[in-house]
Amino acid sequence: MKVLQAPKKHLPVVGLLGLVVIAAAGGTVYYYQFASPHTHAVPSHRLVFMTAVIQELGGFHVNNTAYLNQTTQPAFDNSKGYNLTGVKFQDYLPSYSDNKTINANAGDTITFYIHAVDGSGHGFSQYGSNHGFTIDGPTVSVAAGDALPGTIPFGKWYSVTVTFVTAGSYIYRCNIFCSDQHPFMQGNIVVS
């Protein structure tokens, strides 16, 4: 008879543990479904679409931003640029509206698509036939096969995929002398 009583003493404990486990799991589900402000779990893969023209005509300009909702990247060609046909993505608004500042979270990957614009014929001196793209900052990890710094001939496209490992302030800039105001041809990347 005492042997039968022993398991009964454990039953309430087992029951409590079960409730705790269920509550924890439920809480986690609740957090991700309702409390998490974004549908995109960190880290995300962002796509940033930009143009590059001499600083006298505006320098770098972010035209659009999107989350890539798949693991494979859009098709890309130096002449035609990116191809989003059949690609799952979701546009988002950057936190800054100067069209030069890019925001991200530590661990995020950003693929830059940059179209170099020929600025000749606008009354400003333009030197050479290329813009450049490089990033200064705490820690950047460049995808295998991609070039950073990169050279972007006028009229062509350039793409580079970079993972921002560490939070901090980054600067992207042109690294090829292209006009008198070349040193100012840059923008910020704020990684939180």
- The residues of the shown chain that bind Cu ion, judged by CB under 5 A, are 174, 178, 182, 185
Q: Are 131 and 149 in contact (CB under 8 A)?
A: no
Residue 110 or residue 185: which is nearer to Cu ion going by CB?
Answer: 185
Nearest to 88 by CA among 38, 44, 136, 141: 44
Closest separation between CB of residue 33 and Cu ion, Å?
47
Closest separation between CB of residue 160 and Cu ion, Å?
16
Burial class (CB in 10 A: 0-12, 13-18, 19+), 129: middle
Residue 68 or residue 148: which is nearer to Cu ion going by CB?
Answer: 148
Residue 115 or residue 182: which is nearer to Cu ion going by CB?
Answer: 182
Furthest C-alpha separation in the chain? 102
Residue 52 or residue 102: which is nearer to Cu ion going by CB?
Answer: 52
Q: In whole angstroms, give the CA distance from residue 48 to residue 30.
A: 31
